[in-house]
Structure formats: structure tokens, C-alpha cells
Amino acid sequence: MGKSQKLRSEIDEKYKWDLSPIYKCDEDWYKDLKIVSKEVEKVSNYKGKIVSSANGLLEYLEFSIEIERKLYKLYYYAHLNFDADTTNDTYQQMHGKIQNLLARYDELDSFSNPEMMKVNYDTIKQFYNDEPKLKEYEFMLEQIYRYKEHILDEKSEAILSAFSKVNSSPEEIYEALTDSDIKFGMIVDENGEEVELTESNYSLFLESENREVRKNAFNQLLGTYSKYKNTIANTFSGNVEVLTTLSKLKKFSSSLEASLFGDNVDRKVYDNLIDTVSNNLDTLYKYFDLKKEVLGVSEFHLYDQYNSLVPECNKKYTFEEARTLVVNALSVLGDDYVEILNKAFDERWIDVYNNKGKRTGAYSSGFYDTNPYILLNYEGKFEDVSTLAHELGHSMHTYYSCKNNPYQYSHYRIFVAEVASTVNELLLKFYQLNNTNDINEKKYIINVLMNSFKSTIYRQVMFAEYERDMHALKEKGEILTSETLSNYYYELNKKYFGPNVVVDDVIRYEWERIPHFYYNFYVYKYAIGLSCACYIVNNILSGQDGALENYKKFLKSGGSDYPVNELKLSGIDITKSEVIVSAIKMFDSLIEQFKKIN
């Protein structure tokens, strides 16, 4: 009989996060809520005055930052308490109240951006001379005014805004279809029992030691998708149509350019990533050859790729052992870094164990006026230790960002968000690799790392290439039929898997199950993040002059510059191939290491 989940009250206090630095008690939160609820209404006082003078702009910016900080202090206390126990009625209520207040503020403040767009950036530049304190907001204002040439007149923007719900219909229909309506039927598992095949357990079947189970799951799931190819081709094409039309209306040359604009990323970064990976597919082919050899199969099929090269590592770590391991592994990042890491444990930034009602998964969450808290559901596996290192990477990035920037530049972008977390994961794995004498554990860690390269660089870049090329076809006026979408995806798989893998015909329907194709050119960021992390780790571990100092400059930069410029602080130029090639070389060396010890 399964062990029942503990109640929140049964978890030892030392394993729960301490949220008292935000508010000592719920009563203090409610007092603040009452005060801030009145204060948000004052934003209306600035209507019509924001760009009337330098002083008017400064007063508005100072007010908006002050009110935001108060709102987010309220939000994080409610959100973290709610996620720790979603069954707690008190925190359900608090979470709902602050979300309503945030929505109210957004509604009241909706005049600000259109009002600012009524003047040119030259006027704002003149304001810097009139009021020197505005210089503190220069980069923030520059980011707002970059959009000016892509904003339509007020009437047109209102029409587009009214259509926003309609524009999200393709994705919503796709989600309803794939999350609820499509059923994949029953499948016989390793124990000879009939179980329902779902998207949730599909990956477990593909990892099965039983090849027949892998093959059946693969064919059954993708075969089911083939029956919906025309419907999903319509949602896919509809989504592309929305993005390409909006990009044209907003005066962008393509939907890709429109997507990259927010991060100020040049199109050549995206294309260079795809070209560099395409020119280095031999390493991926070598990996599949290794898998084929270890599995001992005469033909290596696509349904064989997820079967592990090594058994699961059953070694367990107490949370205290995990702390020691992570701190030791990250000690190469310097005494100041370790000191803050220890604060995270000693001051209880981390909510460690699962309890009834606790949100699943793991995350780092916090802002300028709170600690960067971490939610875990720790079970003691090496994977959990790795998750701890990963989330600490996010929290340390947040800590450095907040301590070294004014509020308006303390929040780093999603584009660079995974770099620090992945640096920590890599440092942990390389540390353990060098310090364990257990050959099976070494093989397990190398296998995990190799899987990361395959899935985070190669697979995501294949998706990025597919997305780019399908949008380009649409922009040329071609119809994205199910046949076009399926045939192109099949050919792309042949390219990425190479001559020694049997590219099963049913893979042509896999594009139907990838929700990321509705995320507007998001996936390339995963590959960039891992490549940058590899480059940083390589430089730090090899003792390259200035590598650690440069990495700290990056961590401290927060949101004070565009991502490409922030990465340059750590010695990375993502417009060039060097960083991506360096990551692929690391992948290659891991393959060679595995061969030696296997």
C-alpha cells in the first residue's frame, strides 16, 4: 500500500521556507493590502501629465515603481504560501485578492504606454537634460520607445486588442484537442498488463527495456495523431497565419524578426545556431552509433533513442548530503558565492519536501524585496540534487541581479534565465563525475549529460529549423497542408538522425504533438542557454584568466542591458559559432569518455 502524503503541519519547520521576512503574519499582509488598494487608484492622477514635462515623467516613473514593489511584495507572500499548500483556504483567498488587485492596477495604468507614444524619443532625450534623475531610467525608456515604429494608431491598436482572444484560438483549439479529446487507446506494458497510453506516460514506455513495448507505444501514439493530421494542420497553419499577419501589420519583415525584436536579437543569431548545428551533426550520429552498439541491435530505430544506456542510479541523498554536495561542487564560483549559497540553506529560502496540496515540480521565485525562494519536491535521487543545484542557479542569479541594480533593472530576461541554472547543473555533474569511484554512477552521469545535449541542443534546433521554415513558406504564400507539414518534418528527421538510424515513416506526424510550435520561436533559447553554460563552465574549470570575474559581471547585470550584450560580459559572442561548437565538443568528449569506461 502506498505511503500517504504528509500534511503541511507534519513537515519539520527546518524544511519549510521562512516567509516572515516578507510579512511577519497574515494580519500584516491584510493591513498592507488595504493601504495598497487605495494607493493604486492614485495612478489615474498622472493621466495626461506623463510626457507634459520631464518632472511629470519622473514623478510617474517613481510612483509606478513604488506601487509595483508594494504590489509584488503582497503577491509573493500570497503566491508562495498558496503553492506550499493549495488546499489552504486562507491562502487561496489571499492569492485571489492580490491577483485581482494586480489586474486592477494594470487596467488603471493602461493609459501610460499610449500616452508615452504620443511624443518622439527625441523629446524624452531632451527630458534627460531637463531632469538628470531621469537618466536612471534611460535604458528602460529606450526599450519602450524601440516599439514606437511598430505601434499602430490608437484606433488600429484598439481593433487588434479586441481580436487578441480570436488570435489565440488556434492554440486554444489545439490544446483542447490534444489535452482532452485525443485518446491513444490501451497498450500492453512490460508486465503484460493492459494500460491506457497517454502523453503523460508515453516517455516512460519509450524508455522501456522491452523493445516491443517501445515500438508499440511509438507506433500507436503517432499513428493516432495521423488521424488528426488535417485538423492539426489547420490549427498550426492558423497560428502561423496570425503571427505572420500581425508581423506585417506591425511593420516587421517577418514573424521571426517580430519575435526576436523584444530581446533585440539579430536574425543571424537564430540562423547561425541552425547552420552551426547542421554542420556538426556527425557528433549526434556518433552518439546514435554508440547507443546502437550498447543496445546490441542490428537496426537502430527512432523508438530506441530514449532507452537508457545505463540502469537508473538508485543512490539516495539526504537533503543535508545534497547541500554538502552542491556547495562543494559550486565552490569553484568563489567564497562570496558560497557564502550566499549557505544563506539560502541557513535562512530557509528552500521549501524542501512534498506535502498534501503542494504544487508539483520545482521553481525559484522571488523579486527585489524578498529572498529568491525555492520550491522543491525533494525525494533524494541524484536528479533531485541536480534540481536543487539548478534552482539555486536561478536564485543566485536573482540575488546578484537585485543587489547590484536599481529595481527597474533587477529582472533578467527569459533569454538568459537558463544560463546560470545550467552552469550549476553542469558544475555539479562534473564535480561528481570526478569525485566518485563508482563506475556505474560515472556512466549514469555521463548518460544524463549526453541526453541533455541530444535533447536540448539538437532536438530543439531541429524544432527551431522546422518552425522557421514553415513560417517562411507561409510568408511566401504557400498553403501549409498536412502533407507539406508532414513531409518536411520527415525529411528534417532524416537529416538530424543520419544514415545509420532507421527513420520510421510514422515520425512524419510527430510535429502534431509539439506544443512549442505555438510558442512563437521560443525553443532556440534552450539551445543557446545550454551552449552558453557549457562555454562558461569550460572556461571556469580550465582556469581561464578572468573567466569567473566575467561570469559574475554577467550575473550582476540583471536586466540592465540587452541579452546579447549581457552575455558578452562573460566572454560570449552568440552571433558567432564558437560557443555552439564548444558545447558540441563537450558532447563529443562525453561520448568518448563513455566508450572508455563502458
Cell of 219: 507506433
- Residue 261 neighbours by CB distance under 10 Å: 15
Rounded to 5 degrees, what angle do the CA atoms 134, 137, 140 make? 145
Q: Element (H or E) spanning 69, and its range?
A: helix 54-84
Q: What is the CA radius of gyration of the chain?
A: 26
Residues designated catalytic? 391
CA distance readout (Å), 21 to 37, 51, 228: 22, 37, 52
- Counting Cα atoms < 13 Å in the Cβ hemisphere of 357 gives 17
Overall residue count recorded for the chain in this entry: 598
205: alpha, beta or left? (left if phi > 0; alpha if psi -120 to 50): alpha
Alpha helices in 456-502 (DSSP H): 460-475, 482-497
Whether the CB-CB separation of 317 and 326 falls below 8 Å is answered with: no
- In whole angstroms, what is the distance from residue 289 CA to residue 71 CA? 55
Strand order in the sheet with 373-375: 350-351, 373-375, 363-365
Please name the residues in contact with 503: beta carbons below 8 A apart, sequence gap of 6 or more: 302, 490, 493, 494, 497
Q: Which of 312, 290, 271 has the alpha carbon at shortest distance from 467?
A: 271
- In whole angstroms, what is the distance from residue 543 CA to residue 547 CA? 7
End-to-end CA distance of the chain: 38
Whether the CB-CB separation of 422 and 390 falls below 8 Å is answered with: yes
